[in-house]
Structure 1
């Protein structure tokens, strides 16, 4: 009795084909390496360094400096300018001129001659001298020449004129002279009183102190007033005490 032919068992995964698309379970075509699902290179292929998920550079690769989260520049790199940074008003400008608040030094002004100083002094004190001459008989007082007591003709008016003379002194030779450096006499002759260090007006306080210091110029037999004739900075004793100079402005 003849045995029936044996049947070949069916492949549960289906027939194999040579299509480029390899279904799961089939062997890859010979000569083409299969892609490694874990990213490992095949034998004989050049190895590419995998990217570090933490951003660290691979060995042999140039290292790029990481950005500083606080905005500080890396060593050797120029600092980036902050757009919110306030410009320095005192910084030097690009054209070489000093910024606001800096003193621009020009040519040194010439020191005033002794003649001009005497002329300005006479102009400033002329109104006070005239008022004193007028009020002297009005107020009265002791006459040293005749050694007698004089009765004033109008003491009230004389006192008012003295107040006017004192107000002139305070306004002209303290406030005006201290704030601008020019009293009326200096303004007429084109000279100015300045601080010897800064070249600026000295202020009312130092101007008043300088007027008091002129007492030394007087009690020294007027030598203090003559001192500018031979002094290298043409200063009186009062100028040396208050550190002031008198310069030409025109």
Structure 2
């Protein structure tokens, strides 16, 4: 196995974020299209008074709660269950890479995988996400803390049958 290239990891992250972006857009659209439109034409809304409230409808509030619940569920399923059990989130599956324990070589399990994702927040304000570009094991800061590596397993080759 070889360490996964930075571009594979970056592409996997983008793929993993797509469902979150779609859920956010759907939730925002539901809030917008179900809003209380009285505030749109009420001129008193512009004088700083509290006559109009926030403009959210009950359906808007419910859609926000449902959207957030779906987002949390997706994160727990994709990074905890899926990546913890198999080593690959949806994005990593698409990009043919796996997260494994540095010493065990096996998937890291549910809790450790979720914790690894939380530790990734430390990568944001620093160059942690770029660190794999020059690190010998191509690890982010979260990988170093959690003692994990992201690898590209060798592709299974199917034998080519000869012609008779």
TM-score by length of 2: 0.75
User: 1:136 is matched with which residue?
Assistant: 28
User: How far apart, CA to CA, are the structure 2 residues paired with 1:181 and 1:200?
Assistant: 8
User: How far apart, CA to CA, are the structure 1 residues paired with 2:28 and 2:56?
Assistant: 8
Runs of 5+ unmatched residues, structure 2? 33-47, 156-164
User: 1:234 is matched with which residue?
Assistant: 138
User: 1:194 is matched with which residue?
Assistant: 100
RMSD (CA atoms): 1.9
User: 2:61 is matched with which residue?
Assistant: 155
User: How far apart, CA to CA, are the structure 2 residues paired with 1:219 and 1:151?
Assistant: 35
Runs of 5+ unmatched residues, structure 1? 1-108, 141-147
Aligned-pair CA distance for 1:158: 2.5
Aligned-pair CA distance for 1:133: 2.2
Flag the structure with more relative contact order, 1 or 2, with Cα contacts below 8 A and sequence separation at least 6: 2
Distance 1:246 1:235, change over 3 A: same
Larger Rg: 1 or 2? 1
Aligned-pair CA distance for 1:139: 4.9
TM-score by length of 1: 0.50
User: 2:117 is matched with which residue?
Assistant: 211
Aligned-pair CA distance for 1:137: 5.2
Q: Tell me if structure 2 keeps the 8 A contact 1:137–1:152.
A: no
1:198 is paired with a residue whose SS is coil
Kindly indicate which of the two structures has a greater share of residues assigned to helix: 2
Moved over 2 A (4+): 136-140, 148-153
Aligned-pair CA distance for 1:162: 1.8
Query: Any idea what the Cα deviations from partners look like across 1:172-215, whole Å, max 9, x if unmatched?
Result: 11111001101111111111000000100001111011111011
